[in-house]
Structure 1
Amino acid sequence: MAARARVDPPSGGTLKHVESLIPSLGPSEQKVAREVVENPREVSTLSAAELAERTATSAATVIRTCQSMGFKGFHQLRLYLMRDLVAATPPEAVPRMGVGDPRVWLPAVFESAGKELAHASAPVDYENFDLAVDALVGARRLLLAANGGSAPVAQSALIGFLALGWHPEAPVDAAVQQLTAASLTPGDLCLCISSSGANILTLHTAEVAAKAGATVLSITGFTHSKLHRISDIPLVCGDVTQTWPTGTVAANIGQFVLVAALQSAAAHRAGRLEAESAVTSEVIDLLADDDAGESD
């Protein structure tokens, strides 16, 4: 695998970056990357030869893996791991979710969620983000497609786009998603959301949209997933299922934020922020009328 463009993960985001790339690596490289993700503290103290021995690979494979992930070599990866470990909260300091007094563990849950969310942006390609914003601004039609655990993200996105003056289509039924995708034409945009990048229903919609000539924009949790490969503009937002028993819901946190960021940037670029203000004011007026009716 050819070396990627050099990366500079944000503090705390190195493991999310590595994890997002695992599906795109060869079998031997995946063994090295998984060892990094599963044992970062130990890996940060090893030499390339020692890591090669642990993974039954070679020092050359270890170095090649690091370069495939965008690092200059193993030494630079170790520096990033050490940086993140210094800033990290020791695992034993975080109470187990759901066990014991909620006054103890519930605040820790929210603190942990904030840290996971801060790291979830590590794999985002900023050039693709800008391309996505341009695509949203220029799209004649916008189809939002998601199924399973990612479906709530698409429905939330629908509300956000409507408030900003877009008129997206976001059918809940997967068959209707595919039928709608078939009616798209060049100049239209299909936004597909799937944490795994492997949801077969969402993949079919993306394939139909691409065949129709529409631009396919995707949000996934893994680089070079099947959805990532189908997409014209892939965006990867780090999956946050590792430390959460309610994994699907937790994974969506990053997706919600990334979609909101896309909406905000597109609205700013298209001059639609005034539309959001007007819609918000109208909703507030409607709610006020409902309250007045209840008091009569």
Structure 2
Amino acid sequence: MVEQKADTIAGTAVVDAEPDRRAAAGLSPADSVLVRVRARLTEFTGALQRVAEQVLSDPAAAARATIVELAERSGTSPATVTRFCRAMGFEGYADLRLGIAAETGRAHTAGWSVDIGREIQPTDPLERVLGQIIAADTQAMHDTATLLDLGEVERAAEAIAGATRVNIFGASGSALVGEEMQFSLHRIGVAAWAWNDVHEGLAGAALLRAGDVALGISHTGQTRETIETLAEAGSHGAVTVALTGFARSPLAELADIVLLTASQATTFRPDGLSARHPQLVVLDLLYIAVAQRTYDRAHAAFQRTAQAVGGHKAAKEARQ
């Protein structure tokens, strides 16, 4: 009874704040249901979070289940499921079921019939493992396209195209993604640096000024080092850009521009690792948008850099 009362309070708060939160996340009721649930997962607590996790773990089963069955599977109550539906912007459980059913139906029609959520077993043949990886990445790409605000990409591209200096911050896997972006920008003549050490990153951020850009990469948006460096850059007037999977994360909330990505975890590839490909796609889009806005300069720089390394390529081919 105590748990139900606490959940009622939490559920009421979520429902009341839903329109603002959905707007802040760049989501609308027409967006993918599962994308919306995944994007909001960390905001829910207690019983509401268990309902969300149950829906995400087996969307097809959730689309077939009655409200009582979903409540039992998530260890909650029908009242909690109803509150969850309202928190997600639906009038009731029937609307949620229809939304999930339509989405899983589209996935099946598109050929995504592999059970993405199934655990990969030691005896699974590589053909099946490959199918799961491709299906998960394909779903993550489509979810990212749903979440991504192209207006924000344009704002980030304009800022980078006009920047004197671009600093890119990230830790662990996000640092590798940042280095890819730095390499791409460098090839078209953009003065960009990628930092994965917090001390060097903070020093670099402290030297930024108005007209410069700082890009922070963190799937969770909770990496303390990345938050600190982006905050430092913003305090000196730099335009701050966050690439993250959570619109309500600390990193996103301090950034001027937010680029959202989705992920689809599989065995041995939790969210942080499975987010790499969608992150790279978004950064590729941003890089091309920058190149479009600096076309003459970018084209000339790309030609010069290609010519500079061309001799090594020719020498290698001659030895083969």
Question: Which one of 61, 70, 80 corresponds to residue 99 of structure 2?
Answer: 80
Check 1:42–1:94 CA distance in 2 against 1; reply closer, same or farther (3 A cut): closer
Deviates more, 1:116-125 or 1:221-230: 116-125
Query: Residue 281 of structure 1: CA displacement?
Result: 3.2
Alpha-carbon distance in structure 2 between the residues aligned to 1:116 and 1:270? 32
After superposition, residues 43-82 of structure 1 pair within 5 angstroms as 43-46=62-65, 55-56=76-77, 57-58=79-80, 61-67=83-89, 74-82=93-101
2:5 counterpart residue number: none
Q: 1:200 aligns with which of 224, 233, 236?
A: 224
Confirm whether residue 118 of structure 1 aligns to residue 134 of structure 2. no
Residue 235 of structure 1 is matched in structure 2 by 259
Are residues 283 and 99 of structure 1, via their aligned partners in 2, closer, same or farther at CA, if it must alter by over 3 Å? farther
Contact preservation (8 Å) 2:195, 2:201 = yes
Amino acid at match of 1:41: A
The alpha-carbon distance between structure 1 residues 38 and 105, as it changes in their structure 2 partners (threshold 3 A), is closer
Q: Quote the Cα distance in structure 1 between the aligned partners of 2:157 and 2:211.
A: 14
Q: Report the Cα distance in structure 2 between the residues aligned to 1:117 and 1:274, rounded to whole angstroms.
A: 32
Show the counterpart of 2:58: 39
State whether residues 18 and 88 of structure 2, in contact with CA within 8 Å, keep that contact through their aligned partners in structure 1: no
Query: Relative to structure 1, is the Cα distance of residues 164 and 77 closer, same or farther in structure 2, using a 3 angstrom cutoff?
Result: farther
Structure 2: runs of 5+ lacking an equivalent: 1-16
**What's the CA shift for 1:119?**
3.0
How far, CA to CA, are the matches of 1:294 and 1:267 in structure 2? Answer: 34
Shift of residue 234 of structure 1?
1.3
Structure 1 residues 72 and 115: CA distance shift in structure 2, 3 A = farther
Within 5 A, what are the aligned runs for 1:1-296?
A: 1-3=17-19, 4-5=22-23, 6-9=28-31, 14-25=33-44, 29-46=48-65, 55-56=76-77, 57-58=79-80, 61-67=83-89, 74-86=93-105, 87=108, 88-91=112-115, 96=120, 99=123, 101-102=125-126, 104-105=127-128, 107-109=130-132, 111-121=134-144, 122-240=146-264, 242-247=265-270, 248-271=272-295, 272-275=297-300, 277-279=302-304, 281-283=306-308, 285-291=310-316
Name the amino acid aligned to 1:134.
Answer: E
1-structure distance, mates of 2:87, 2:223: 27
Deviations 1:234-264 (A, max 9, x none): 1110123x21413343321111111011111
Q: Percent identity?
A: 24
**C-alpha distance 32-129 of structure 1, shift in aligned 2 (>3 A):** farther
Moved more, 198-207 or 275-284: 275-284
Q: Secondary structure in 2 aligned to 1:44? A: helix
Deviation, structure 1 residue 73: 6.1
Q: Root-mean-square deviation (CA), in Å?
A: 3.1
Alignment: residue pair count: 287
Following the alignment from structure 2 to structure 1, what is the Cα–Cα distance between the partners of residues 151 and 317? 49
Identify if the C-alpha distance between structure 1 residues 212 and 73 changes in structure 2 by more than 3 Å, giving closer, same or farther: farther
Q: Which has the higher helix share?
A: 2
Change (3 A) 1:42 1:138: same
Deviations 1:107-139 (A, max 9, x none): 425533542343341322233222222222232
Deviation at 1:163, TM superposition (A): 1.4
Offset at residue 194 of structure 1 (A): 0.7
Moved more, 262-271 or 82-91: 82-91
2:245 maps to amino acid: G
- CA 1:140–1:29 in 2, change beyond 3 Å: closer, same or farther? farther
Structure 1 residue ranges without an equivalent (≥5): none
